[in-house]
Structure 1
């Protein structure tokens, strides 16, 4: 499910249709001001930094309304106490598909208002920083080396939930002593953000980024797209099997699958002879991946980009082949036995 408020500032946007919510926020103004005042006054040491998190901030004018209330409350309290205002950090948190771009454009207007309005006194004007919380995997479409720690944690927690649920369901289907063999994409390292886990997705991200630069794909669409894949380590698999408790592990093995398996091959008028087509491995990988994720890409970006993006993807794969270390994918096979019912 892709649930988020309509972005932008058009007629059907959340920004243009959230007056009721704004009214509700305004009714909390006194409570917010009192909370900020009490926080500042009741501390032994006047705070140097105040951190606020808006959980479910959405987009539009309401997003910055609460932040403005906090800033004003901090300013007024500092003036009353004759002290320098603390730094204010406001973290804006929502689903990755939220329209954060519109929010940050609106920040320019807010900063102008606070500079030219009541907060002219620099001594009492708080330094204010608006940020997105780390759950936004900006600039990435997968779990990469530049992904925030919180994104890595979110991917891991989702995998744990899904894998435990999978084992639980299979345990109900198998009789005692029944066997199950699983083969899945994995990794050999402890860190899920290393390139080893994402050799397929780096070139795909490059293809999308090129289309962003050329204006063919919206940047916000790119930033809000996250591939739902987590490659576990053997230790993570063993720990989850133990945690679920219905199976014992008989065998666990790690092996590589070379991209050569995805060559586009054709007959050469001889059933015993095959040769690689001109478009080679890159096109073969692109076709194989397209078969698996086309619906996901089309649902997020629209069908119009499909041929272009996967053609570019194939070329990126071909260019990446110059590095021989990038031509294999890590897989894990684990053999399990259903325990006898206790």
Structure 2
């Protein structure tokens, strides 16, 4: 089962999630606009505001959006002179996620939040936290119970490897320009099934006029094998194949391994939303970020460690733990070489949805 690396070690997601934090910061204005729009409508919650973070993972980003949203709602509530609200914060991820790390951080999180919004016990309602393990491709919450959904860097993960591609994508672990047409079609079909089910489930759980902000890896090209969305898996495939050539990894194991991941175009995302029919699109943004971004001008961001912190559990379950250190040593070397030849960027799709019926 896919899950990010827990704990606080060198290869943990907690210590390698700066990329996600950058993306969260860059899309905050969209989330802020959505929450402001919702709170100024006539159905402003009277007692409880419920928000859910889908694919919360662990580490410093897990509660970042919750903190920002609560702060924004409190600003609006005070301006509108509404009664104090209770906050229900629902944290969802797959069962293997390190929820304990999140729960241990809650006392300090609440103290920091109260300081941030200048709240006192008398004018700031309680915050109730719930861990919700399970796949968001199924129902997770009661009907018409959530006001705001948020998800960053999760929806490009499929519920499973597409059926029927076993041993057809030889030497590759993802869609590539040399993949058979049947492989490309199977990936797209799986995305359609998964994303449509995701929208169907959230439409049941969201209140009317409730909002949803989704950010995922995507592409601007019409071609699913475009370099803008396949490079980091292509480079990992190259690293694996150098190990096959040296007899360190079995060729058959590589042939049978495929990443359950699909990075859609904005048109493909839009088509599924329109097909579902219960959401209106209030904003759709395409943005890019360099692989080697950093807050420190002297240091390049270690993109290989970021990928490892996310995908290591899946690789270990298929190849075993013994090859992992060597695999990512080679992967990092390939990235450094490719980065010297071309500018490597990630394309992000952010969509703001409102439930209209």
Contact 2:164 2:186 in 1 (8 A): no
Deviation at 1:324, TM superposition (A): 2.9
**How far apart, CA to CA, are the structure 2 residues paired with 1:188 and 1:241?**
18
Are residues 1:307 and 2:325 paired? yes
**Deviation per residue, 1:258-291 (Å, 9 max, x gap):** 1123x5x7xxxxxxxx4545xx44xx11110011
Contact 2:171 2:237 in 1 (8 A): no
SS at match of 1:304: coil
Residue 212 of structure 1 is matched in structure 2 by: 244
Residue 345 of structure 2 is matched in structure 1 by: 328
**How far apart, CA to CA, are the structure 1 residues paired with 2:208 and 2:271?**
21
Q: Which has the higher helix share?
A: 1
**How far apart, CA to CA, are the structure 2 residues paired with 1:96 and 1:171?**
31
Contact 2:286 2:347 in 1 (8 A): yes
Deviation at 1:191, TM superposition (A): 1.2
Residue 179 of structure 1 is matched in structure 2 by: 211
Distance 1:96 1:251, change over 3 A: closer
Deviation at 1:97, TM superposition (A): 4.7
1:1-342 counterparts in 2 under 5 A?
95-97=164-166, 136-261=168-293, 263=294, 274=296, 276-277=298-299, 280-281=300-301, 284-325=302-343, 327-340=344-357
Contact 1:246 1:339 in 2 (8 A): yes
Contact 1:144 1:198 in 2 (8 A): yes
Residue 6 of structure 2 is matched in structure 1 by: none
SS at match of 1:303: coil
TM-score (norm 1): 0.55
Deviation at 1:144, TM superposition (A): 0.6
Distance 1:229 1:190, change over 3 A: same
Deviation at 1:95, TM superposition (A): 5.0
**How far apart, CA to CA, are the structure 1 residues paired with 2:327 and 2:241?**
10
For structure 2, list consecutive stretches of 5 or more residues without a partner in the other structure.
2-162
For structure 1, list consecutive stretches of 5 or more residues without a partner in the other structure.
2-93, 99-135, 266-273
Q: What count of residue pairs does the alignment treat as equivalent?
A: 196
SS at match of 2:207: coil
**How far apart, CA to CA, are the structure 2 residues paired with 1:250 and 1:97?**
39
Residue 54 of structure 2 is matched in structure 1 by: none
**Deviation per residue, 1:174-195 (Å, 9 max, x gap):** 1000111110000111111121
**How far apart, CA to CA, are the structure 2 residues paired with 1:187 and 1:97?**
25
SS at match of 2:292: helix
Contact 1:199 1:329 in 2 (8 A): no
Contact 2:200 2:276 in 1 (8 A): yes
Larger radius of gyration: 1
SS at match of 1:175: strand
**How far apart, CA to CA, are the structure 2 residues paired with 1:149 and 1:285?**
30
Moved over 4 A (4+): 94-98
RMSD: 1.8
